[in-house]
Amino acid sequence: MVHAPSRPPAGAPPVRVNLYSDTQTKPTAAMKAAMMQAEVGDEQHGDDPSVHELCDRMAKLLGKEAAIFLPSGTMCNQVAILTHCRPGDEVLAHRNAHIISSEGGGPGALAGVMVTGLDGERGMFDVPTLQAAFREKRRHSPPQTLLEVEQTANFGGGAVWPIDQLNAVLHAAHEQGMATHMDGARLMNAVVAAGVPADEMVAGCDSVWLDFTKGLGAPLGAVLCGSEAFIDAAWKWKQRLGGSLRQAGIVAAACTYALDHNIARLAEDHDNAKILARGLAQLEGITVEEPETNLVFFDTTATGMTAEELSVKARAKGLMFSAMGRYRGRACTHLDVDRAGVEEGLQILREVLAA
């Protein structure tokens, strides 16, 4: 049975430290003010100036011709796959990619494509691994039309693709006649961590999107970018999957505010993640993966508890983090958790483990 999203446990205290995900961020007063002041219109009719401003800025930021505003990053991935592929096609991606693990089987259900997972450390793979997955082009084989990469790689521990390795796999896919797509849920975390400009980082991608609801702190929204022809075709799929967002400028304004105010500060989240990782490593029974950005993964095996069991005990004391496997936990730093919050979260875990 597939269950609806769970509600807070009965009798649970208020959340004091929320390290569950950067999707838990809430818009600041200043962001809300920008939303209330937004000039809006009918987005479907092309009359919303705030949506146009956001899309124009995103296309320029990522070095693409055009952009489309969508409700979520998952919808960006699905619209991109639907636009690039046809039923029966094959998509190549890392075996832990979000499109495989976390989008409800969307590629198969919606686009009728198969997604083949590739091996590689920390959510990334190299050219030889990619080339080994290439099929002989014959009528018996599924057409391999799309290569997908994540930046940062979520299940890879928030790892950042080195630009040379990224460009190499994208180039190899292009040589094979494939299109390339980037899941850029935390793209700006990678940009800040690597010190590589966004347009340079995604130059080899035919399509790419940025999520505004994670470290950038907006309440909803993502922008998918590509060529004018690609975005024109993507609009058809947006229409089929639900149509316009009407006066979407009230939300697009939050995303534009995030571009102006919340990118450089991602470095604070990365610093806090390192502090959190050092503290976790000092707790008995916890083994920590060194973070590159704002995601801190850790193993709970030696505590005698699964990650889920530890998370339930921590939640009872006001701390939230996520279980990403039987013994693999994830804590995520973001703009709603400062350094004092990190220290408080560590103290809660000390108390739980001591008990």
pLDDT digits (tens, 9 = 90+) for 188-244: 999 999 999 999 999 999 999 999 999 999 999 999 999 999 999 999 999 999 988
Last residue of a domain, one of 232, 261, 290: 261
Q: What share of the chain is helix, strand, coil (3-state, %, to 5)?
A: 45, 15, 40
CB 50 within 8 A of CB 56: no
Nearest to 16 by CA among 311, 308, 341, 332: 341
> Under a CB-based contact definition with an 8 Å cutoff, are residues 166 and 149 in contact?
yes
* Residue whose token pair is 């296309």: 59
65 shares a domain with 171: yes
pLDDT mean over 276-286: 97
Instruction: Please indicate, yes or no, whether residues 187 and 165 belong to a single structural domain of this protein.
Output: yes
- DSSP character for 153? B
Same domain, 288 and 254: no
For position 244, what pLDDT does the model report? 82
85 and 132 housed in the same domain: yes
- pLDDT band, very low/low/confident/very high, at 6 (cuts 50, 70, 90): low
Give the per-residue pLDDT at 1: 46
Judge if 111 and 175 occupy the same domain.
yes
Nearest residue to 283 via CA among 322, 338, 329, 324 = 329
Predicted local confidence at residue 355, as pLDDT: 86
| 16: in domain | no
Type of residue at 321: F
Sign of CA dihedral 223, 228, 230, 233: positive
Boundary of a domain, candidates 204, 238, 261: 261
What pLDDT score was predicted for residue 243? 82
Q: Is the pLDDT of residue 22 over 70?
A: yes
Based on the domain organization, do 286 and 337 belong to the same domain? yes
Phi, psi of 171 (to 5 degrees): -65, -40
User: Of 228, 261, 294, which residue sits at a domain end?
Assistant: 261
Residue numbers of the domain that contains 152: 29-261
Nearest to 188 by CA among 293, 275, 98: 293
Q: Indicate if the pLDDT at residue 5 is higher than 90.
A: no
270 inside domain: yes
Confirm whether 21 is domain-assigned.
no
Residue 67 φ/ψ, nearest 5 degrees: -150, 160
Report pLDDT digits (tens) over 117-174.
999 999 999 999 999 999 999 999 999 999 999 999 999 999 999 999 999 999 999 9
Query: What pLDDT band is residue 322 in, cutting at 50, 70 and 90?
Result: very high
Closest CA to 224 of 177, 185, 174: 185
Give the span between the Cα atoms of 223 and 70, in whole angstroms: 6
How far apart, in whole angstroms, are the C-alpha atoms of residue 199 and residue 205? 10
Domain identity same for 243 and 223: yes
- Tens digits of residue pLDDT in 246-275: 999 999 999 999 999 999 999 999 999 999
In the predicted model, what is the mean pLDDT of the chain? 96
Q: CATH number, domain at 323?
A: 3.90.1150.10
CA–CA dist 86, 115 (Å, integer): 13
Would 236 be classed as within a structural domain?
Answer: yes
Whether 138 maps to a domain, the answer reads yes
> Domain for residue 183, yes or no?
yes
Cis omega (within 30 of 0) for bond into 152: yes
Query: How is residue 176 written in tokens?
Result: 């094979």
Q: Which residues contact 307 (CB under 8 A, 6 or more apart)?
A: 300, 323, 324, 325, 326, 327, 328, 329
Domain identity same for 160 and 271: no
**CB 272 within 8 Å of CB 342:** yes
Question: CA 67 to CA 226: how far, in whole Å?
Answer: 6
Q: pLDDT by residue (tens digit) across 102-115?
A: 999 999 999 999 99
CB count, 10 Å around CB of 283? 18
